[in-house]
Amino acid sequence: MTSDEGGTAPAARLARIEPGTTTAAALELFDDLPPLGVDEMLGRWAGRGVPTAHPFDGLLEALGWYGKRMDGPDDVHPLVFHAARGDRLVAITPTLLPLGPALRLAPVVPPAVAARAFAALRPLLTTSRPQARLRTVTYRGVASAAMVYDRLPIIDAFRRVDGRTVLGVMDLRGSALPYVFVLRQEG
């Protein structure tokens, strides 16, 4: 689908919600977008959260999140961050992150405090091993490419905005709301 009922292109709709929106509005756009195949997700993707009042809003960016790297269907790095100097990228092991406490504490811990703690721990979290796989998953009634984390109850479902942009929804067990993000393909 290239436009909604009013004829507005998906990229224009994304531009309107990207600075901040409700979960319902973000999911409405997500549901209107077409699916994509696993092979279309290969590559390096710069990411940015879409603020929807989720506890993780702004947190990944404060920690230096770059995005995701998908070298093959079975060779996926779901969390790629800027290294300490910022000029190189490192993949981290998401299973070592305390996601449950992070969901509870993110709204009350200042981002600068979280960033300092993460910077100290980042070298211990760095990995070269893939931490997820790409598969076709039915999410919200549509089969599309999705990232399935190896050892966490997380699935990131993707839908196409345009040839180089996707809207993602992180479905995390235990979180009442999905985390919504945008990925833009590099190179």
pLDDT, greater one: 94 or 44? 44
User: Quick check: is 74 in a domain?
Assistant: yes
Strand partners, 44: 69
Q: Average pLDDT in the 33-47 region?
A: 98
Q: Which domain holds residue 21?
A: 10-185
User: Quick check: is 57 in a domain?
Assistant: yes
Q: What pLDDT is attached to residue 102?
A: 65
Q: What pLDDT is attached to residue 114?
A: 78
Q: Spell out the residues 6+ positions from residue 87 whose beta carbon is closer than 8 angstroms to its own.
A: none
User: Quick check: is 2 in a domain?
Assistant: no
Per the structure, the count of domains in the chain is 1
Q: What is the pTM of this model?
A: 0.89
Q: How confident is the model at residue 121 (pLDDT cuts 50, 70, 90)?
A: confident
Per-chain mean pLDDT for the chain:
90
Q: How confident is the model at residue 104 (pLDDT cuts 50, 70, 90)?
A: low
Q: Which residues of 18-53 are buried (b: 16+ CB within 10 A; e: fewer)?
A: beebebebbbebbebbebbebebbbebbebebbbbe
Q: What pLDDT is attached to residue 133?
A: 98
At 17 the three-state DSSP class reads helix
Q: What pLDDT is attached to residue 5?
A: 47
**Percentage above 90 pLDDT, the chain:** 66
User: Quick check: is 4 in a domain?
Assistant: no
User: Quick check: is 129 in a domain?
Assistant: yes
Q: What pLDDT is attached to residue 99?
A: 67
Is 113's pLDDT higher than 90?
no
Q: Average pLDDT in the 146-165 region?
A: 96
Asked if 170 contacts 178 with a C-beta cutoff of 8 angstroms, the reply is: yes
Domain harbouring 116, CATH code: 2.40.128.580
Q: In whole angstroms, what is the distance from residue 175 CA to residue 163 CA?
A: 30
